[in-house]
Amino acid sequence: MSDNAVMTDVLGKLMNITDLDCLDRIENTAFNRKRDLRQRNAAVETSSWMVNDDVQMLPEHRSRKPYGAIGKIVKINKVKIVVDFEGFLTYNVPKSMLMKSRIS
């Protein structure tokens, strides 16, 4: 069964649930599943990154500080990467919010 077929089946069953506690549990489970998938995908994509590589925020996160700046990796942790933007701003950024910079 494909992901779209499973989603259609789950959404159809979801519309019949009237218990608020069940819906809260479903909401929390979906949130945690999405977070885990995002972290796993980010870990795979960033596995070849090294200290001093140029990185920048993903397009969907560029409205946040440091507003599209290119930074250098200072330290790589399990979930987050310490990035030095513009020589004086150091941020602890989740791996899922970064991409390798195409501009050097």
The two three-digit tokens of residue 40, written as one number: 């796993």
**Given CA atoms 9, 14, 17, 19 in this order, what sign does their dihedral have?**
positive
d(CA 91, CA 86): 11
Separation of first and last alpha carbons in the chain: 44
Kindly give, in sequence order, each residue whose CB lies less than 8 Å from that of residue 57, ignoring residues fewer than 6 positions away.
Answer: 64, 66, 68, 93, 97, 98, 99
The model's pTM is 0.66
Q: What is the pLDDT of residues 8-33, one digit of tens each?
A: 999 999 999 999 999 999 999 999 99
Q: What is the pLDDT of residues 29-74, one digit of tens each?
A: 999 999 999 888 888 888 899 999 999 888 887 777 777 788 999 9
The half-sphere exposure of 35 on its side-chain side, counting CA atoms within 13 A, is 8
